[in-house]
Chain A
Amino acid sequence: MARMGYDGVVLTAPHTEPYARFSNETAHWWIARALRGSLRAAGLTPAQIDGFAVSSFTLFPDTPVALTQHLGLSPRWLDTVPTGGASGVVALRRAARAVQAGDADIVACVGGDTNPIDGFRTLLSAFSRFALDASYPYGFGGPNANFALLMDAYLTEYGADRADFAHVAVAQRANALNNPHALMKKPLTVEQYLSARPIADPIALFDCVMPCAGAESFLVMREERARALGLPFARLRATIERHNAFAEDPVQLRGGWAVDVDDLWAQAAMGPSDMDLVQTYDDYPVISVLQFEDLGFCTKGEGPAFLRKHDLTITGDLPHNTSGGQLSAGQAGAAGGYIGLVEAIRQVTQTAGPTQVENARRALVSGFGMINFDRGVCSAACVIEAGA
């Protein structure tokens, strides 16, 4: 059966709460700040929110249930989205259907986390059962080691080298220099990328994100409502989501997008070449390359050659991770699953300010999450387009 479209559902009021490397505040604080940012942008009060989707790793012992009482919300629709780097797109999918069906009128989607000193190690230590049993006892390299194995296999399988990945990191740093809130403030050269301190071969310092605190949020509502509020908005054209794809592959050289890519573009009635910008999930350049391949921009193994042919900066022919992405703006826990989507809403509503891509109307946003053991389990993607 053909999937229903998302007619009449729009995304609006994107808000990024500026990141901090370390924070003494709680996840509750960060989520409250981001939610308030979106409400202010929309001219709404908390009581007008009747749907709430939350993603966070650091709310413990609370859940979004406790958060409703903590923040004084009384939604009639509540969702916890635990898909990490895929949580922005996945929350959007849930919220869009709820709004479409009338189960909620205005859903706030928020991803946010704090990062106290030593918080990242503590978070890793209890990340998942498989990680505890079968990953951390092996050097405790965290995601760095997992992606090192992935990148090592990729380089070997497709004859790429590290310089191929420098292109992604360097362009994102150039984009980040336009984003006053990016944690990384210095330019990055290919030489610096290549000669950086090794972290887990072949991954070096500039392949890695910097864990930080932060929060991102946006609202999902019906188009009439956004118009009534006078808000610029984006339409949702297509989405996909997949978990635990290709479980038999010894190393993750393809993600779940490859299962659903045709479905995505068919629902969007567009193709990769129609996109004005692309926001991939970028905790490491290699995973961004996988997304370009698996989402149909080029064939498997051609990612590095394809990307070299394109200028990935804001003013380039294929703007990518325009706010600097996680690699240069920081990885704020579950907000890392929102950073690309929130920036894409700003881009297609022409509200991105210093990172604005000229005439951006269509964006592909993709998410990837949860290294449960040896690979990311969740993948998702969506296509959004400027409202009328």
Chain B
Amino acid sequence: MTDTPPKRKDPRQRTPVPLLPPVQRSRAALGLTLAAAEGRFALQGCAECGAVQYPPRDACRACLSTDLTWREVPNGGRVVAQTRIHASPDPYFREHLPWRIGTVALDAGVPVIAHLHAAVSRGDRVRMALRLDRAGQGVLIALPDIEGSAMTSDPTLRAMGTDPRHRRVLITDARAPESLALTKALLAAGAAEVRLGEPETWKAWDGRAAFDGLAAVSLHPLDVTDTGSVRDLAAGLGGKVDILINTARHERPGGVMTGDLTRARDEIEVGYMGLMRLAQAFGPAMAARAADGVNSAAAWVNILPVQALAHDPGFASTVAAGAAARALALSLRAELRGAGVRVMNAYTGPLDDDWHQPLPPPKVAPKALAQAIVAGLCDGLEEVHVGDIARDLADRWRRDPRLLAREMEGGLS
């Protein structure tokens, strides 16, 4: 049912108001959200006695230790009871009834209440996942034990997720190294249309021809450093942006004392101010369309250098602009969460492109970045780390941000 392309919108009809499932959580339970944001299956456990527990607590139910940690646990389980809810007093769920949930006995040793994928029922072995729901909170869902095509058409996953299937995407800079690969990956994932922004349209550039002849793909003038240009495109596209992927960025090597001020200003203009311009022009319309049927507005994607979690003397001002954009993106996430539109930050290691040429491998192929973003959209992630360097750096950052800052003093190079 959700796998048929949506009908054209009738502007005379009311656009459904975006509603959210219950958003309130305890501090401990936000551990589920953090894991879901990265696509990990983690539960709370006791550092002293090892007991795994659910729901998350402030003390261990086995030994009363308050030394609790989150750990990845086996994601298998068995559905021991199920129900189809036909009546709920909650406005969000009332719009999505009937809704299926079940009790799952996890291999990790605890029973949980979970959303059920349509192909899952009582008695089944299941594969559990933590996903972000429309409120941006981590929830458990029981998926079929064997991965299959049913994943994209499941109404529960669709209601929670940001799957590109049937959705219309705007990529803000066609000239970014990953934009062509991203376009192709989105089309392969079933995106209805891919529009790309093209800065400085009077300049010929290598690679433009590659977009010619791609069905459902079009280029549009867009300069994120020009407020008028951004507004013009937003006005022209109206409510036709379901997923926005901001590929516009300006990355140049250089330090602080010897850095070029003009380049530094460009980095801020594109990476930071550009994000703010895009958010002001496209954000409100996306927020208003977060419940607009199968092709509702769903996600906003930023591409950030992973060093933005700390700093990088080799790319001092580029990474500083990235850090500024990251902080802005986190605030944008908070604003769009109220509407149910997800903000994904894709943190990438150095790309295998001209500006990172002197750096040693491993580097990220533009195609790998594109595929990671599309996979992240399919799984509804908020935080994606692309490439070995990004994963390593993020891991060190989670453990000790100050230690990482020290270690980065030599830079990535």
Interface residues of A (CB under 8 A from B): 120-121, 124-125, 129-130, 132-142, 144-145, 148-150, 152-153, 156, 197-203, 247, 249-251, 373-374
Contact = CB atoms under 8 A, between A and B. Distances in A.
A142 B85 CA distance: 10
Interface in B120-152: 122, 133, 135, 137, 139-140
A199 B137 contact: no
B93 A250 contact: no
Given A132-B25, A139-B101, 18 more contacts: A129-B26, A134-B29, A134-B113, A137-B137, A138-B113, A138-B114, A140-B88, A140-B90, A141-B87, A141-B93, A142-B88, A142-B89, A144-B85, A145-B85, A250-B80, A373-B113, A374-B103, A374-B113
24 contacts: A129-B26, A133-B29, A136-B90, A138-B139, A139-B88, A139-B101, A139-B115, A140-B21, A140-B22, A140-B89, A140-B93, A141-B99, A142-B89, A148-B83, A149-B102, A149-B113, A150-B81, A152-B82, A153-B103, A199-B87, A200-B85, A201-B84, A202-B83, A249-B111
Given A140-B93, A373-B55, A250 B111 contact: yes
Contacts of B56: 133
Contact of B99 (A120, A139, A149): A139
A121 B90 contact: yes
Contacts of B100: 139
A149 B89 contact: no
Most chain A beta-carbon neighbours within 10 Å: one of B85, B105, B139: B85
A251 B81 contact: yes
Contacts of A249: 111
B83 A120 contact: no
A58 to B, nearest CB: 16
B54 A134 contact: yes
B24 interface: yes
Nearest to B139: A137
B87 A133 contact: no
Contact of A137 (B54, B111, B122, B133): B133
Interface of B: 21-22, 24-26, 28-29, 54-56, 61, 80-90, 92-93, 99-103, 105, 111-115, 122, 133, 135, 137, 139-140
A203 to B, nearest CB: 8
Contacts of B88: 139-142
A120 B89 contact: yes
Contacts of B29: 132-134
Contacts of A247: 61
Given A129-B26, A137-B137, A374-B111, A153 B81 contact: yes
Contacts of B135: 137
Q: Which 8 A-B pairs have the closest CB atoms?
A: A140-B90, A148-B83, A133-B29, A121-B89, A134-B55, A153-B81, A250-B111, A149-B81
Nearest to B156: A139
A383 to B, nearest CB: 32
Contacts of A153: 80-81, 103
A145 B111 contact: no
Contacts of A198: 84, 86
A208 to B, nearest CB: 9
A121 B89 CA distance: 6
Contacts of A148: 83, 85
B22 A201 contact: no
B86 A133 contact: no
Contacts of B115: 138-139
A136 B84 CA distance: 14
A349 to B, nearest CB: 39
B26 A132 contact: yes
A311 B84 CA distance: 32
B106 to A, nearest CB: 9
Contacts of A149: 81-83, 101-103, 113
A156 B89 contact: no
A200 B54 CA distance: 24
A308 B82 CA distance: 26
Contact of B113 (A120, A121, A135): A135
Nearest to A199: B87
A137 B81 contact: no
Given A129-B26, A137-B133, A200 B84 contact: yes
A209 to B, nearest CB: 14
Contacts of A250: 80, 103, 105, 111
A370 B118 CA distance: 30
A263 B81 CA distance: 32
Nearest to B141: A138
Contacts of B92: 140
Nearest to A138: B101
A251 B111 contact: yes
Contacts of B86: 197-201
Contacts of B22: 125, 132, 136-137, 140
A170 to B, nearest CB: 22
A283 to B, nearest CB: 15
Most chain B beta-carbon neighbours within 10 Å: one of A139, A141, A142, A145: A139
A373 B103 CA distance: 12
Contacts of B28: 133
A136 B113 CA distance: 10
A145 B24 CA distance: 19
B265 to A, nearest CB: 45
A144 B85 CA distance: 8
B127 to A, nearest CB: 18
